[in-house]
């Protein structure tokens, strides 16, 4: 016991314990990060050299003005190193990039590039550094998802911006959360993993791929159901419904009064 007590008082004992603690903490963090991001990142290994080369040519011709010749970023656009193929799939696949004009946020418009060209640019950007990957088809399969659970996840994580019906909503400084009606499953998924505009990033540690698939299943199921109750009124909820009832009710009341007074005279 005396010998052990003397070793504890050794001047390097505290340093040794600190180093051991740092190594243990770092090892656990690295292991957890590897598990959580196993399906979330990719490099150019999924693409061949021809796709990467063609993607670079397209990038230099169409994107380098804002993002730099090596995608290092400029005053007009951010760096694309490490954003991953998923970011290209979402931004280019939805027509948001290249931007038509500067504004609070990129506007969705008809895509300028076809699917093959989008994949080629995604290959080039993926070659610059690991980042969120384009999901496998199994995570976009509505039939394999659980719409009921997806609806619960959507209301917890997404409804505060996109509306409980996925109709979108206004944000600050001229920005907005877009409608999710008619959005391709791959673009819903890649938006969650990349966090475009004001949207937060939902990595696999926040929402696993299976849960993302459930959210996609919910959105598609909701859209297929249509509006069995009648007019959707923009899916804005009780505000628009109350306004419509108030306006129609007031119009009917005034019309009835006019009709009664004209009959009495």
* End-to-end alpha carbon distance in the chain: 114
What beta strand segments (E) does 161-208 contain?
A: 169-170, 176-177
- What span, in angstroms and rounded, lies between the C-alpha atoms of 91 and 196? 8
Degrees (nearest 5) of the Cα angle 196, 208, 235? 55
**Total Cβ atoms within 10 A of residue 62:** 17
β 41-42/176-177 pair status = unpaired
Closest CA to 84 of 49, 34, 41, 114: 41
- Ligand-binding site membership of 67 (annotated): yes
Contact 134, 187 (CB under 8 A): no
Contact 28, 38 (CB under 8 A): no
**Do the annotations mark residue 181 as ligand-binding?**
no
CA 116 to chain CA centroid, Å, is 22
189 in Cβ contact with 216 (< 8 Å)? yes
Is 187 annotated in a binding site? The answer is: no
What radius of gyration, in Å, describes the C-alpha atoms of the chain?
27
247 vs 183: CA distance, rounded Å: 33
Instruction: Give the CA distances from residue 56 to residues 74, 84, 157, in Å, rounded to whole numbers and listed in that order.
Output: 17, 14, 36
Establish whether 63 is an annotated binding residue. Answer: yes
Query: Which residues line the annotated binding site for heme c?
Result: 63, 66-67, 158, 161-162
Query: Which residues line the annotated binding site?
Result: 63, 66-67, 158, 161-162
């Amino acid at each position: 016991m005396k010998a052990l007590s003397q070793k504890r008082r050794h001047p390097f004992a505290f340093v040794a314990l600190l180093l051991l603690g740092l190594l243990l903490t770092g090892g656990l963090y690295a292991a957890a990060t590897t598990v959580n991001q196993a399906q979330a990142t990719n490099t150019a290994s999924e693409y061949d050299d021809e796709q990467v080369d063609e993607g670079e040519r397209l990038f230099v011709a169409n994107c380098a003005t804002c993002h730099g010749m090596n995608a290092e970023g400029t005053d007009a656009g951010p760096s694309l190193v490490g954003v991953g193929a998923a970011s290209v799939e979402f931004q280019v696949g939805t027509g948001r990039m290249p931007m038509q004009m500067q504004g609070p946020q990129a506007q969705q418009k008809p895509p300028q590039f076809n699917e093959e060209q989008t994949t080629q640019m995604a290959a080039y950007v993926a070659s610059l550094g690991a980042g969120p990957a384009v999901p496998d088809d199994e995570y976009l399969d509505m039939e394999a998802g659980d719409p009921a659970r997806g609806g619960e996840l959507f209301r917890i994580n997404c409804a505060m911006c996109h509306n409980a019906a996925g109709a979108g909503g206004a944000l600050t400084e001229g920005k907005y959360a877009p409608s999710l009606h008619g959005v391709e499953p791959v673009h819903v998924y890649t938006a969650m993993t990349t966090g475009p505009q004001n949207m937060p990033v939902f990595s696999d540690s926040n929402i696993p791929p299976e849960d993302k698939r459930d959210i996609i299943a919910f959105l598609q199921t909701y859209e297929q159901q249509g509006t069995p109750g009648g007019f959707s009124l923009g899916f804005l909820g009780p505000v628009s419904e109350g306004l419509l009832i108030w306006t129609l009710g007031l119009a009917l009341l005034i019309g009835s009064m006019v009709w009664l007074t004209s009959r009495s005279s």
